[in-house]
Copies of this chain bind each other. A is one copy, B any other.
């Protein structure tokens, strides 16, 4: 591997000048810079990251720790994030070191990674409300970015969607269509996103002058089978009145609900309306649902570039409060939502 010394010897310049030329320092003579750049290219020069790191104190590596779910499957959203994130980090010449957390204590894995002393910062995925990792990293003074929100008015960088609005948008649409019995199939409430969705759901229900029985609310790690089982249960009407609409935390859940509706001979949207939040996972395309699915949409991939940039900027010194992005998911009305069924058209009346 060619080094700065090789180039400087070749050109009769000092390593210092070569270094400055290659790093875009303004004081270098334009001609010198061109010569240096040309020979660097010709000699196939690559800066030695280790040496750079030793002197700058920065590693150009950030960490992410995957957390396995209770059933030992990391969710498929994780791989989606991983794909976008490694690409976005690579754009800024940063590598991703990955670990998988198999323990109960959520900060242990971070502590261990930190001890190895090779990381500039962390990306926190799937945060809980008041996530203990946030507290831990803040106390240690380690830069990090959160995918999502763990609390209001925080000092750290984050990128997330407004999950409260996700639910209120959904409920408002359904209420405007005349629905009064709206069920909610949420994700695991210990995660911040699901907690926010629930708050939004309840407040929008109240806002619309409606009430919701607890039997209409389910929460679990999103899956098709969760949607199927819960919808079947709620639509059986064993617990009194049946819902006429479902708000689903994910398209996977919605797939299960549609299946349950099909099994019960219910038409969507004639007998039942369904709306879901859509992370735009390649494996679950809402436009290919039958009927096409009304969604609040915010592609998971869109989060990756700002996540990477926020973290790197923060490492480079930008204040965390200046690196906070909260986006409003787009409401896309398709064919799975319609007016509440009336009189004779409603098989339950």
A: which residues have CB within 8 A of B? 1, 46, 48-51, 53-54, 59, 61, 66, 68, 71-74, 76, 78-79, 82-83, 86-87, 90, 93, 95-100, 102, 112, 115-118, 282-283
Our pick among B48, B116, B283 for the contact of A71 (Cβ within 8 Å) is B283
A48 to chain B: closest residue by CB: B117
The 9 sampled A-B contact pairs (Cβ below 8 Å) are A46-B115, A48-B54, A50-B50, A50-B53, A54-B54, A66-B83, A78-B79, A83-B100, A97-B98
Q: Known contacts A87-B102, A90-B112, A102-B83; is A283 also within 8 Å of B73 by CB? A: yes
Interchain nearest-CB distance for A112 vs B (Å): 7
User: Which of A50, A73, A117 has the most chain B CB atoms closer than 10 A to its own CB?
Assistant: A50
Residues of B within 8 A of A59 (CB): 50
Residues of B within 8 A of A112 (CB): 90
Residues of B within 8 A of A83 (CB): 66, 68, 100, 102
Residues of B within 8 A of A54 (CB): 48, 50-51, 54
Contact check, A61 vs B283: say whether CB atoms are below 8 A apart. Answer: no
Contact check, A86 vs B71: say whether CB atoms are below 8 A apart. Answer: no
CA distance A72 to B82 in the complex (A): 12
Q: A68-B79, A83-B102 are in contact. List 16 more A-B contacts (CB 8 A).
A: A49-B118, A50-B118, A61-B118, A66-B79, A71-B283, A72-B282, A73-B76, A73-B283, A74-B79, A78-B79, A83-B100, A86-B98, A87-B100, A90-B112, A96-B98, A98-B98
A71 to chain B: closest residue by CB: B283
Residues of B within 8 A of A50 (CB): 50, 53-54, 59, 118
A79 to chain B: closest residue by CB: B74
A59 to chain B: closest residue by CB: B50
CA distance A115 to B100 in the complex (A): 26
CA distance A97 to B59 in the complex (A): 13
Contact check, A117 vs B79: say whether CB atoms are below 8 A apart. Answer: no
